[in-house]
């Protein structure tokens, strides 16, 4: 149970990809195009 703040959206997927494992929950909360982070992570996880 840990919270991390990453100041630049472009850095979020690079930070998360090596840390994600089955059963993890990632929340992206914000305004604008923060949804793109979720899209990139889903695409990455699907291979």
Q: Between the CA of residue 9 and those of 22, 23, 28, 36, what are the distances in Å? A: 23, 23, 10, 9
With a cut of 90, say whether residue 6 has pLDDT above it: no
Total domains, the chain: 1
Asked if the structure places residue 26 within a domain, the reply is: yes
Q: Is residue 3 part of a domain?
A: no
pLDDT band, residue 21 (cuts 50/70/90):
confident
pLDDT band at 43 (very low <50, low <70, confident <90, very high): very high
pLDDT at 40 over 90: yes
Does the model's pTM come out above 0.85? no
Burial per residue of 21-46, b for 16 or more beta-carbon CB atoms within 10 angstroms, e otherwise: eeeeeeeeeeeeeeeebeebbeeeee
Q: What is the sign of the dihedral through the CA atoms of 45, 26, 18 and 6?
A: positive
Question: What's the chain's average pLDDT?
Answer: 88
Q: Does residue 41 belong to any structural domain of this protein?
A: yes
pLDDT of residue 26: 85
Q: Which domain holds residue 22?
A: 11-46
């Amino acid at each position: 149970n840990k919270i991390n703040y990453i100041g630049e959206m472009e850095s979020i997927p690079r930070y998360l990809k090596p840390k994600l494992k089955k059963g993890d929950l990632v929340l992206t909360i914000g305004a604008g195009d923060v949804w793109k982070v979720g899209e990139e992570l889903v695409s990455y996880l699907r291979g």
